[in-house]
Structure 1
Amino acid sequence: MSARKLCMIPGPIEFHEDVLAAMGTPATSHVDPNFIPILGESIEMVRKVILSEVAQPFITSGSGTLGWDMMVNLIEQGDEVLLLNTGYFGENLADCLTTYGAKVTQLRAPAGSRPSADELKAALAEKKYKMVTVTHVDTSTGVLSDIKKVAEIVKATSPETLVVVDGVCSVGSEEIRFDEWNLDIVITGSQKGLGVPPGLSIVIASPYAIKVFQERKTPIPAYYSNWNKWLPVMQAYEARKPAYFATPAVQLVYALHASLKKITSEPMQVRFDKHRQVASDFRKTVKDLGLKQVAQCEECSANGMTAIWLPEGVEVAKLVPALANKGVQIAGGILKDIATKYFRIGHMGISVMEDERQHIPKVVDALTSSLTELGYKSA
């Protein structure tokens, strides 16, 4: 393990040894009496992570993108959707919703920014929306949206409008208070703040969202994503009973269970605060190096990752391998038109919560020395 590169991209992140050990669980039936409580308890612990007493989690095999696809349960042909676009993943979510017949209006912001509260209020005044979607952290830019404020504005204007949060790059690293903030959907995947290998899609739905799903007027034009198939399965496992629709990723669920046990072993506020502090310190280091981050303000900067503009004369095609040669894997940019102009570094999970691992200092050292090697001289 010591010879491999630290995975410090914005997901997949580093995995705890207990999580990796759980992946080594021998072949086990998905209806084995030993597995049933593992999935059942995982469903319950997901609620604790997003601070909900009443939400319905769905844990299924698939990437975080499958969570977008599951919005087919709420969208009907011609439904109006307002999408707050802060980057690459907002753009792709719009494409997904359009596939299922939604009429998507995008409220865009310049790279590194987010739509303002006034812009949101103005958009909501123009028409009635079935759903408002917001990417909590857009992994392409490191921009953090204020989902509490978004939900507050939406619900004050139109209580019937669903508030859908893409939390793929935020659950487990950013503060989310599902019940208190009146959210309806949070979508995430296993491989980022939850610290589990890729392969699990996790969607959390409010009782109101479930009601909207149950009262829809048209059939759901999907099979695998269909909540009519999955809801009885989730309810059965939480009641510690076997059920079947499609085979779960048993070993990944064991890994999720191991990670969630660690995450929920202390108050979530401790985790939120630690990610904020480490991110703030890292942003200061970036600034001290004479670099600028893509996110344009402190309050719109993610706590689980940072996107950084490349200094003049340094190419991402040289910077990424330079760090890799020092045992640290970082990521280039992915936002259209500016992808070659910036790079991204993740700081989530055990890399943040367990100081003794020294992951963040290693990243800083590798970044500093690599920039020097490539001819960059900080101010």
Structure 2
Amino acid sequence: MHRRLAGGLSRTLCSSVGKRLFSTRTPLAKHKLCMIPGPIEFHEDVLAAMSTPATSHVDPDFLPVFGEAIEMTREVVRTDKGQPFLVAGSGTLGWDMMSNVLEEGDSTLMVNTGYFGDRFAESLETYGANVHHVKASIGSRPSTKDIEAALVEHKGYKMVAITHVDTSTGVLNDIQALAQVIRQRSPESLIVVDGVCAVGSEELAFDDWGIDIVITASQKGLGVPPGLSVVVASQRALDVFKKRSSRIRNYYGNWNKWLPVMEAYEARSALYFATPPVQLLYALNVSLKQILANGPTGLSERIDAHRKASGQVKAAVQGLGLKLVPTSLEGAANGMTAVYTPPSIKTPDLIEAMAKKGVQIAGGLPIKAEPYFRIGHMGISVVEPERKHIQHVIESLHSSLNELNYRS
């Protein structure tokens, strides 16, 4: 039992505090449900895994915890040879790591569906990239024809960057279809996917779809508290990195520093560049074991559970006469729902009313849209329906709207 829950916690740890932390599930203290698009609700065993005594990052008992997390990250994104980088930082650090494959003046195409597409582009421009955008109106997404036209019009894109799910709009891009077009029209381009709000809740097949880099973070579909930047790079991307002709304009995110560290920990030895977040890696190990408990079938079932919960929330929202920000259900995310606030209600008032009922939702982001709010539905809130998180959100939304005198 300790092995399954703690994911390689040391024998000393398991014997000294394992009984207290892992022998039974300790209910979480009463708190508002965190139903925003990340951070999400965390499993008790994941939180317990962080409650370890001070542990050295070079302790022999920690080495397999880190090494297994690297290996399981591959399984989650479905790659055999992709190289994971698990580094202390936010998802934004993943954007900065693109400095490893970009050089001054490189052309990049940004498939932009909202606020985070804009910010990703800003990061790439910081490192000298010339960024071209393919944008759609708010709530919609560029089509494969739009992308094909952009690739025909301008040759030589070093990178095509796509936000899988833009957390600002809840719009889902069809990565498989876009990657197919990119491979046909611009086979030399690296395909980079910002999967921060997608990995763990959306279908993703790194190798089969020909993806070169996936960027994500710990606090959403991976079900771990914030603080880990997770990047997976293909061997093709690593070749581009190794053959670059100019110095990398990044220190902390430099793969020359991190690649030997990842290789060492996967080989169950230690190498130092910067201190890894030991407790977060314990937590990631536990969460990844939960995600992969039933192998590929379990991973597919997890995605299906997110799809089902998404449909439940969106149907309830539309049943209340509210309008979704995504213009089509096909182009709407599994892990979150973005909804326009009724004109008669102020978004902060709705958020406050929901909070009083024990549910935290999020407001909109600055995307030049009408006022809107966002609900997250990922992780244990979805895959453990017995917790009734989704039901609680729907009921709280209905009663809050009634209190605010909304009539559909």
Q: Deviations over 1:97-150 (max 9, x none)?
A: 000000000111111011111110110001220000000000000000011111
Alignment partner of 2:248: what SS? coil
Describe how 1:1-379 pairs up with structure 2 within 5 A. Answer: 1-127=28-154, 128-266=156-294, 267-338=298-369, 341-378=371-408
Shift of 1:222: 1.0
Q: Deviations over 1:171-216 (max 9, x none)?
A: 1111100000000000000000001000000000011001110111
Alignment partner of 2:257: what SS? helix
Alpha-carbon distance in structure 1 between the residues aligned to 2:348 and 2:299: 38
Q: TM-score, normalised by structure 2?
A: 0.91
Give the residue type in structure 1 aligned to 2:394.
V
Question: Alignment length, in residue pairs?
Answer: 377
Residue pair 1:87, 1:335 contacting (<8 A) in 2 also: no
Report the identity percentage: 59
Shift of 1:312: 2.2
Residue pair 2:168, 2:367 contacting (<8 A) in 1 also: no
Shift of 1:277: 1.1
Shift of 1:336: 2.8
Shift of 1:90: 0.2
Shift of 1:54: 1.2
Q: Deviations over 1:265-308 (max 9, x none)?
A: 02211111111111112111111111111001111000000000
Alpha-carbon distance in structure 2 between the residues aligned to 1:283 and 1:175: 19
Give the residue type in structure 2 aligned to 1:343.
F
Structure 1 vs Structure 2 CA RMSD: 0.8
Q: Which runs of 4+ in 1 moved over 6 A?
A: none
Alpha-carbon distance in structure 1 between the residues aligned to 2:328 and 2:394: 21
Shift of 1:221: 1.1
Alpha-carbon distance in structure 1 between the residues aligned to 2:357 and 2:316: 19
Shift of 1:43: 0.4
Alpha-carbon distance in structure 2 between the residues aligned to 1:126 and 1:191: 38
Gaps of 5+ in 1: none
Alpha-carbon distance in structure 2 between the residues aligned to 1:223 and 1:197: 25
Q: TM-score, normalised by structure 1?
A: 0.98
Alpha-carbon distance in structure 1 between the residues aligned to 2:133 and 2:224: 32
